[in-house]
Structure 1
Amino acid sequence: MNHSNETIVREAVALDVPDSDSLRFLPEGPIPLTKDGYLSWVGIQHGSSAKHGSINLLDLNTNENRSFDLPGRPGFAFACDGVDNDGLPTRFVAGVERELGIFDLTDRSWKPFQSDVDSAVTNTIINDGLVYEDNLIFGTKDLAFAEKKAGLYLYRGQDQKLIALRNDQVCSNGKMIRVDDSGRLKLVDIDSPTRLIVEYDLDIDAGTIGEARVLVDLTSDPGVPDGAVLTPEGDGIIVSIFLPTVADHGETRLYDLATGNLRCVWRTPGSPQNTCPALVAKSGRVHLVITTAVENMSAEDQEKCPNAGRLFVGETNFEDASKIVPSVYRAR
Structure 2
Amino acid sequence: MNLSAITLQEIALAHERIRPYIRHTPLEYSEEFSYLYSSNVYLKLENLQVTGSFKTRGAFNKLLSLDKTKSKGGVIASTAGNHGIGLAYAAHKLNIPVHVYLPRDADLGKVQSLERYGALLSFFDSIEEARVSALKAAEEKEHFFLSAYNDRAVIAAGGTVGLEILDDLSDVGIVITSMGGGGLASGMCLALKGVNPKIEVWGVQTKNSPSLAVWYQNGKVTPVDLKPSIAEGLSGSIEPETVTFPIIQKHIDRILTVTEAEIIAAMKIMLDSQYIVEPSGAAGIAALKQCGKELNGRKVAVVVTGRNISWPRLTSLVGDTSNTTHSFLYGGINKNGCPFGNL
**Higher share in strand:** 1
TM-score (norm 1): 0.29
TM-score (norm 2): 0.28
**Higher share in helix:** 2
